[in-house]
Amino acid sequence: MYKHILLKIKFLILLTVLLLFSGCGVIPPPVDNEIVYRALLIGIGDYIDSENDLPSPIYSVDRMHRILSQCRFGLSDVEFFTINNLKDSDATKKAILDEIASTFSGAGNNDVSYFYYNGHGYRCEGTSYLCPADFTSIFSLISVDELENALSAIPGTKVVILDTCRSGGFIGKSEEGVTISEEELTSFNDEIINVFSPSQSKSLLTTNQYKVLTSCHYYQSSWELIPVFGNPYSVFTMSLCSGCGYFNYNYFADINADNKVSLQETYLYIKDWIIKNGYGYLQQDVQVYPENSTYPIMEY
């Protein structure tokens, strides 16, 4: 009997040692001076007080989570330290802003932070907004400036990926009901590019800390499709994921085969994917900032 008890004790000690040395279930802390990658993925399809729901965002978040979790950066094959998700009713205005601060807490000047959003956008009186799950009025939306202020408080590089329709042209009318011409419409996506571009008037952005992809131009919609078989998908997010390892770890967007997918390679692949897969009729043109950037947003 005592022999069996002794064997059990030895087994438990051995198991404990193995778990400690294997790191099972524990995310190892970053190594000093190592770039730390963090991501916040937001998908809102089910709006709490609105019937204008979207079918694909929750699946878009899952797809983005998958390709990011496959990334291995640099010679040390660094993985994402954190990938947090907010979906549907969990993605309230307060939760989104709080989660930005929480997810990217501890980021340093060498670190990289990814912010992804798939959901509705809105524009009113010259200001563009993200629509959180609990929006009921303009005061419960997240303005572009609020988003920029929250992200600019984070040191390091920010990769911003937005999958949303134009907002100014979404309804094509002002609050007074007067139709606005196409030339007068300022897009949510174009404004995002402008807000996140370096400017002499924005000292926080003079170091070119933003890498930005948006799903379409100001006069276009960001389309999503519901196939006969399988889950709904956004054309933009599916094309991005397709080029970045979603299907059997094939990185089709890696044009020069250097095991890195740059911002520019991603942009070019999405444009080509939309045409090759017969979605050209949707007239959806991805936007990028900065142009011709070799910055790797995916590595494997």
Say how far apart CA 239 and CA 15 lie, in whole Å: 44
Q: Does position 38 have pLDDT exceeding 80, yes or no?
A: yes
Least confident span in 6-10, 177-181, 270-274: 177-181
Q: How many CB atoms lie within 10 A of CB 70?
A: 17
Domain residue limits, the chain:
34-299
Structure tokens at 151: 């992200």
Asked if 217 and 166 count as a contact pair (C-beta separation under 8 A), the reply is: yes
List the structure tokens of 198.
């370096």
- Rounded mean pLDDT of 237-241? 97
pLDDT for residue 262 is more than 80:
yes
Average pLDDT over residues 158-182: 50
Is this model's pTM higher than 0.95 or not?
no
217-222: average pLDDT: 73
Fold of 34-299: Rossmann fold (3.40.50)
**Residue 178: its pLDDT value, please?**
36
Q: According to the model, what pLDDT value does residue 283 have?
A: 84
Q: pLDDT tens-digit profile of 184-201?
A: 434 566 777 777 776 544
Residue 27: per-residue pLDDT: 52
Q: List the single range of 133-142, 157-166, 286-295 with lowest mean pLDDT.
A: 157-166
Q: What is the pLDDT of residue 126?
A: 67
Rounded to whole angstroms, the Cα distance separating 43 from 114 reads 14
* pLDDT the model gives residue 70: 98
Structural contact between residues 289 and 210, judged by C-beta atoms closer than 8 angstroms:
yes
Least reliable range by pLDDT among 73-82, 213-222, 226-235: 213-222
pLDDT, mean of residues 242-267: 97
* Mean per-residue pLDDT, 174-179: 36
Q: Residue 13 pLDDT more than 70?
A: no
Percent of the chain having pLDDT more than 90?
55
Distance between CA 231 and CA 269 in Å, rounded? Answer: 22
Question: What does the alpha-carbon distance between residue 155 and residue 165 come to, in Å, rounded to a whole number?
Answer: 29
Residue bearing the bigger pLDDT, 130 or 92:
92
**H or E element, residue 230:** none
Lowest mean pLDDT among 124-133, 137-146, 286-295: 124-133
More confident residue, 47 or 17: 47
Higher pLDDT, 254 or 169: 254
Instruction: Give the residue, 268 or 222, on which the prediction is more confident.
Output: 268
Q: Is 168 exposed, middle or buried, given 0-12, 13-18 or 19+ CB atoms closer than 10 A?
A: buried
- pLDDT at residue 203 greater than cutoff 50: no
| pLDDT number for residue 171 | 19
Q: Which of 97, 88, 76 is nearest to 30 (CA)?
A: 76
Residue keyed to tokens 């959003």: 117
Closest residue by Cα to residue 152 from 116, 200, 202: 202
What does the pLDDT read at residue 188?
63
Q: Name the pLDDT band for 218 (thresholds 50, 70, 90).
A: low
